[in-house]
């Protein structure tokens, strides 16, 4: 049982105070997710009273105005609920604002002076988290300015500096590599936290417990017992007025390269040698290193791209992608993609991982379905383990039982478990968990540089084959409100398999 001891969950260390510097404080993510998450953490005692939050953005406004804005943002955040006046007053005192032109070095000097003052006034011990919630093209420049202003170095013997980078992390392999180089010029990799909020979701984190704390799953998690794995991330929304952005992105960049490859790595990795961040990163690196590259042949036979046409959703008509504002009427940008991932390693040889994501699909749903091989007596559906990542977090195990009666017929039943039913409490938002991890210095559920680059490396052939000016691979239309193009359903069918939802 030596392995057992090595793999035990570590005790969480206590939270140190710090200044949380939020670049892009006037942006959508800050209002909808980051500030509400910080407020919730404060409310539940995870934010030491010496901590401070400094918003930095272009608009010229006072700290008072920023506080009023943030108060309004909290009122609107569904996960916050009614704002508690006492708690808000204490929280508001920690909020500061500094208007900045992120392209001007002088402004970083000003920022530095403000931070020194905040350090003194609040007693943050010089600990700082810089959070970059910005357009990806700005990341490199901001890092350089921070570095040149001396802000990427800890100011006191005991203090630390951490830098969180929001997705997208680069727009292709080249830009991602350049950003990593820039970051490493000023910071240790151990101080860089690349945020992928899918890694903060309850059921994604639960994969570590499910896989390695349960005897009933761990020995079954291989090619001997698993027939295939499905990962679906379906959205019902379209491009929501961001057609101009999406035209250059597409679903491979927007969802697959980051979120779904991260979930995939959690499902497919080997047991890490411990639960330390480095061991988990190493296990992910290894499994992604064995992911089979997408050749033109594989793109033709094992991948499908699609684009939504007009259709019906929730009973009403919705426009097609090409009818969205900002989208070219002959656009060939993919809003749906399905990839067959394969790992050339002993655990997974011969086991396909079908991964798909799309906009304007029939239902909002992110799930992993692990389909086991047939039992010796199997009739009907094989055993499946369903992990629902969102919405309605939980899991289900489908298996055969004898249907009641005088003769022997099998009946598939599902043992179902919903987090909501069992715990009856609000689940922490992914951002709460991940921001707390960053304050604690735990990077397990952040993305290490090599995995970001490996993700881009894997999708590069797809980005090229499906990129602008290339018409040699089909782009399948699918009706908005459907489960994607027929071609994506037919692909597993060729091997006698089918999507759980289609």
Q: List, in sequence order, every beta strand (DSSP E) within 175-238.
A: 192-194, 226-234
The minimum distance between CB 88 and a second copy, in angstroms, equals 21
Nearer to a second copy, 67 or 445 (CB): 445
The minimum distance between CB 112 and a second copy, in angstroms, equals 31
Distance CA 310, CA 360 (A): 10
- 405 burial class (0-12, 13-18, 19+ CB within 10 angstroms)? exposed
Cβ–Cβ under 8 Å, residues 348 and 359? no
Of 294, 360, 312, 339, nearest to 487 by C-alpha is 339
Q: Catalytic residue at 259?
A: yes
The minimum distance between CB 6 and a second copy, in angstroms, equals 9
Distance CA 352, CA 328 (A): 35
Nearer to a second copy, 24 or 277 (CB): 277
The minimum distance between CB 475 and a second copy, in angstroms, equals 38
The minimum distance between CB 413 and a second copy, in angstroms, equals 5
**122, 197, 259, 281: the active-site residue:** 259
Nearer to a second copy, 14 or 471 (CB): 14
The minimum distance between CB 187 and a second copy, in angstroms, equals 25
Q: 75: how many CB neighbours lie within 10 A of its CB? A: 12
The minimum distance between CB 222 and a second copy, in angstroms, equals 11
Distance CA 430, CA 451 (A): 20
Nearer to a second copy, 371 or 460 (CB): 371
Please give the angle made by the CA atoms of 464, 470 and 476, to the nearest 5 degrees.
95
Q: Which residue do the tokens 């992928």 mark?
A: 196
Catalog residues that contact a second copy under the rule CB under 8 A.
1, 3-4, 7-9, 12, 41, 46, 202, 205-206, 208-210, 212-220, 224-225, 271, 275, 372-379, 382-383, 385, 395-397, 399-411, 413, 415-417, 419, 422-423, 425, 427-428, 432-433, 436-437
Cβ–Cβ under 8 Å, residues 96 and 63? yes
Nearer to a second copy, 152 or 384 (CB): 384
- 313 contact partners, CB below 8 Å, separation of at least 6: 236, 360, 362, 480, 481
Distance CA 61, CA 63 (A): 7
Nearer to a second copy, 309 or 385 (CB): 385
* Beta bridge partner(s), residue 22: 55, 131
DSSP state of 473: S
Distance CA 279, CA 273 (A): 6
Strand, helix or coil for residue 305: strand
CA-to-CA separations, 447 to 18, 285, 363, 452, in angstroms, rounded = 22, 10, 28, 7
Distance CA 112, CA 120 (A): 12
The minimum distance between CB 11 and a second copy, in angstroms, equals 9
Distance CA 375, CA 329 (A): 51
- 470 burial class (0-12, 13-18, 19+ CB within 10 angstroms)? exposed
Nearer to a second copy, 9 or 135 (CB): 9
Nearer to a second copy, 65 or 426 (CB): 426
**H-run or E-run covering 209:** helix 202-213
Q: Which residues are catalytic?
A: 259
């Amino acid at each position: 049982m030596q392995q057992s001891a090595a793999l035990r969950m570590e005790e969480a260390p206590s939270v140190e105070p710090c200044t949380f510097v939020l670049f892009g404080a006037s942006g959508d993510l800050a209002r909808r997710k980051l500030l509400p998450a910080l407020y919730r953490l404060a409310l539940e005692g995870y934010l030491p009273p010496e901590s401070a939050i400094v918003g930095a953005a272009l608009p010229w406004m006072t700290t008072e105005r920023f506080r009023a804005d943030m108060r309004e943002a909290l009122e609107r955040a569904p996960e916050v609920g009614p704002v508690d006046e006492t708690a808000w007053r204490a929280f508001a005192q920690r909020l500061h604002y500094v208007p900045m032109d992120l392209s001007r070095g002088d402004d970083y000097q000003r920022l530095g002076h403000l931070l020194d003052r905040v350090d003194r006034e609040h007693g943050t011990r010089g600990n700082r988290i810089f959070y970059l919630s910005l357009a990806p093209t700005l990341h490199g420049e901001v890092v350089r300015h921070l570095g040149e202003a001396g802000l990427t170095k800890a100011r006191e013997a005991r203090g630390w500096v951490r830098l969180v980078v929001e997705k997208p992390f680069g727009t292709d392999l080249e830009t991602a590599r350049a950003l990593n180089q820039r970051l490493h010029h000023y910071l240790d990799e151990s101080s860089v936290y690349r945020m992928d909020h899918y890694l903060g979701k309850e059921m994604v984190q639960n994969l570590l417990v499910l896989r390695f704390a349960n005897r009933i799953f761990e020995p079954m998690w291989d090619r001997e017992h698993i027939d295939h794995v499905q990962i679906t991330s379906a959205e019902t929304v379209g491009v929501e007025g961001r057609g101009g952005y999406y035209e250059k992105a597409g679903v491979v960049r927007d969802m697959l390269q980051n979120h779904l490859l991260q979930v995939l790595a959690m499902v497919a990795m080997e047991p890490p040698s411990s639960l330390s961040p480095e061991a988990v990163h190493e296990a992910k690196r290894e499994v992604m290193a064995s992911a089979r590259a997408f050749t033109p042949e594989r793109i033709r036979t094992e991948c499908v791209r699609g684009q939504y046409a007009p259709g019906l959703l929730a009973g009403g008509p919705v426009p097609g992608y090409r009818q969205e504002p900002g989208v070219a009427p002959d656009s060939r940008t993919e809003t749906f993609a399905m990839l067959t991932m394969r790992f050339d390693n002993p655990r997974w040889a011969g086991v396909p991982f079908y991964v798909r994501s799309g906009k304007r699909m029939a239902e909002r749903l992110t799930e992993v379905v692990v389909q086991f091989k047939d039992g010796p007596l199997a009739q009907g559906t094989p055993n499946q383990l369903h992990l629902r990542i969102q919405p309605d977090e939980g899991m289900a195990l489908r298996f055969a039982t004898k249907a009641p009666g005088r003769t022997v017929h099998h009946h598939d039943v599902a043992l179902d478990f919903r987090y909501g039913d069992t715990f009856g409490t609000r689940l922490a938002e992914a951002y709460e968990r991940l921001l707390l991890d960053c304050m604690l210095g735990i990077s397990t559920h952040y993305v290490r540089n090599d995995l970001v680059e490996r993700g881009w490396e894997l999708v590069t052939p797809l980005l090229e084959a499906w990129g602008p000016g290339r018409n040699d691979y089909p782009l399948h239309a699918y009706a908005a409100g459907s489960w994607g193009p027929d071609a994506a359903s037919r692909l597993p069918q060729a091997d006698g398999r089918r999507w759980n939802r289609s």
